[in-house]
Structure formats: structure tokens, C-alpha cells
Amino acid sequence: MIPVAKPFLPPQSEYQEYLDNIWKRQWLTNMGPLASQLEMELKDYLKINHLLFVTNGTVALQMAIKALEITGEIITTPFSFVATTSSIVWEGCTPVFVDIDANTLNIDPQKIEAAITEKTTAILATHVYGNPCDVSAIEKIAEKHNLKVIYDAAHAFGVVVNGKSIFEYGDISTCSLHATKLYHSIEGGLLITKDAEILKKLASIRNFGISGFDTFSELGINGKNSEFHAAMGLLNLKYISAIKEKRKKLADLYDEKLKSLKAFRPICHSQSENNHAYYPVVLESEELLLKLKKEMDKQEIFTRRYFYPSLASALPYLPKIELPITEDISKRVLCLPLFYDLTFEEVDLIVRVMLRIQNN
């Protein structure tokens, strides 16, 4: 069996060393020494000044909306994981979907401005598959209309655009450290902002809004993470270069072998490099996708229709709208297996099977 994703795990003996020390300290959560160390090491690795380690990427999005005091309408993408939209609704705001760019699969900046109303207060855009949005265009729109910007950078760990971390853009960027991600802490998330005052507010929100021994500064939530998750994050950070290098080699092999596949790959931002968080292909037709997926499932080669269906037409708690590009792309996009333990021989097998099915 070849799964579509598999988490990277460091040597168990190395993790056990961390566990032994956690047992000695008996400090399991509430921003212990490992969680604090992880924040410092991530800031160094990512070359950023302000970062918080939180429970997961979804809570990070909810905290970002709360910290920026966003109300009303938030313009967002229908081509993302459901957490992007559900976080908006959960915080009492209204998601306003605009269509995506057919080549990058990110939110189309040219369509954002037309969706702005007197109720619009923010833009929440996803860097789809880790591919940066047009951050310059979005920044100009936000400045013109006095809008806050949150980036869902769940897939974008380690990505650099225009010479700096992708997390530096927007008022707040969030990241997911879920087990299936390029870099993970089993469960976890990150909040990044350039604004020290926003960071202070986020830190308070993360800890129930507690401001002192018996005082509270604001509405908060339990957004903290444990020492066990931080330990995994610290260990995996030591292996991140090897992880990225292996995934790039696997993706390059896919590129070479799949030239005759009736599909295209999303176009990457010209001032960035792919972090190979995923390997998506947009097939010629949904018919071909279903044919490939059905036959590959039979051979236990598992793929994922990610993202399908369009959030604009699939969520029971929102009115359904049809956005033609998103509807079309979501029906034709397929993510192929990509993870550290995947072998080059397995990629060869996957490619041979796909091309044989396509040509039969």
C-alpha cells in the first residue's frame, strides 16, 4: 500500500530522551521549557521576530480574527481546507468568496476589489499547496480600502517570497503543524505577526485572557500546546533540511516522468520556490481523474481530491454560490503520494500505473 501522506518520525530513541526529561520535570503543558525553546528555534530558522506556538492551525486562524477585532465580511477563497471558512463563521463573521486564478489556484486579486462592500473588514487568503498568493497585489488592495489581512499559510512552512519569509506578509499569518504537514509537531499551529502589540494580545488570548495572578485583560481561549508536541517539533526541526531535500527529489522525479500525463501543475510564484508540501496535478477532465483514482485505489495507491468540493457550494451552513474556475479546478485536481519515506521506485510505480490507466 502507498498512502497519499505519511508523517515523518525521527528516531524513537531521540524522542525518548525528551520524554525522560519531561517525566523528571513533570511540566507537561502551560508553555513549558520545550514549548518556549521551540518558539525560539523556529524564529531563528524562519528569520522572523515574533511567533507563537499554539494548539493547531484552526485555533490559530480563530485567534487571528479575534486579535484583530474583525467583524462583518471577510473576503476569502473557496479553494482551501474547510478550516479556513469555518474559522470565519465560528468567529461570527461572514465569508465572502471570490474565485481563484486558474493557473496558480490562489485567490484572484483582480476579483477581490469587486467584492468589497461597506461591511468588508478583512481578507483571509490561503497560500494553496504552499504556493504564495500575489501578496503585493493583496497588500495594495488592503491599504486602499483599510482592510486587515490574514494569511492561511498552513502549507507554507519555510517558504520565502521576495527574499523574506512568507509569514512576514499580512497583519497575521498562521501555519499548521499537523502530522501530515511537511514539518510537524504531531498537532500544532503557529501565529506570526510583525506587530509586537498584536503578538502581546495573541499571547494573552492563548492563555484564557489572563493578565495577572487574579486578573483578566480580555476574552481568551486555551490555545496552548504541550511539551510532548513541542518535543516532536524540536526534533523534526533538526531533520527539516533532509526532509525538504528528499521531497524535492521525489517531486522532480514526478515532473520528469509525468510529462505525458494529460494534466498541468499549478504555476508557482515567480519570486519563490516550491516547498513541495504537496504534489497536485490538475487533470484534463474529471472523467480522467475518476478513472485514475478508481483504478489506483484498487491497487492500493492512494491519492486525494484536495480540495474538493468547492467550499462555496458544499457547506450546509452557508448559502451556495457557484464560482466557475473553482468549481472546475476542484473537480479535476488530484494530489499524488508525497512524503519522506516514499521511495523513488514507488514513484516510478505510481507513474507507470497512472500512464497505463490514462492510455487504456
Q: Name the 3-class secondary structure at 4.
A: coil
Answer whether residue 349 is part of any domain. Answer: yes
Domain finish residue from 238, 255, 273 = 238
Whether 233 and 245 share a structural domain: no
Q: Contact at 8 Å (CB) between 16 and 150?
A: no
Whether 277 and 327 share a structural domain: yes
For every residue of 109-164, DSSP letters joined together read HHHHGGG--TTEEEEEEE-GGGPPP-HHHHHHHHHHHT-EEEEE-TT-TT-EETTE
Domain finish residue from 218, 238, 258 = 238
pLDDT confidence bin for 213, thresholds 50/70/90:
confident
Q: How many domains does the chain have?
A: 2
Of the candidates 108, 111, 68, 109, the one whose C-alpha atom is nearest the C-alpha of residue 87 is 68
Give me the pLDDT at residue 280, please: 98
Answer whether residue 3 is part of any domain. Answer: no
Of the candidates 93, 184, 170, 172, the one whose C-alpha atom is nearest the C-alpha of residue 138 is 170
Whether 86 and 174 share a structural domain: yes
List the CATH number of the domain containing 124.
Answer: 3.40.640.10
Give me the pLDDT at residue 310, please: 97
Whether 142 and 277 share a structural domain: no
Whether 229 and 252 share a structural domain: no
Cell numbers linked to 17? 530522551
Whether 234 and 253 share a structural domain: no
| 138-171 pLDDT tens trace | 999 999 999 999 999 999 999 999 999 999 999 9
Q: List the domain range (segments joined by +) for residue 253.
A: 241-359
Whether 259 and 220 share a structural domain: no
Whether 30 and 153 share a structural domain: yes
Q: Contact at 8 Å (CB) between 54 and 191?
A: yes
Residue 212, pLDDT above cutoff 90 = no
Percent of the chain with pLDDT strictly greater than 70: 100
Answer whether residue 167 is part of any domain. Answer: yes
Whether 40 and 156 share a structural domain: yes
Domain finish residue from 238, 268, 292 = 238
Whether 219 and 338 share a structural domain: no
pTM: 0.97
What value does the mean pLDDT of the chain take? 97
Give me the pLDDT at residue 312, please: 97
| 57-71 pLDDT tens trace | 999 999 999 999 999
Task: Say what the alpha-carbon torsion angle 332, 156, 96, 309 is, to the nearest 10 degrees.
Answer: 30
Whether 234 and 260 share a structural domain: no
Q: Do you know the residue count of the chain?
A: 360
Whether 158 and 296 share a structural domain: no
Do the bridges between strand 94-97 and strand 73-76 make them parallel or antiparallel, or are there none, so unpaired? parallel
Give me the pLDDT at residue 144, please: 97
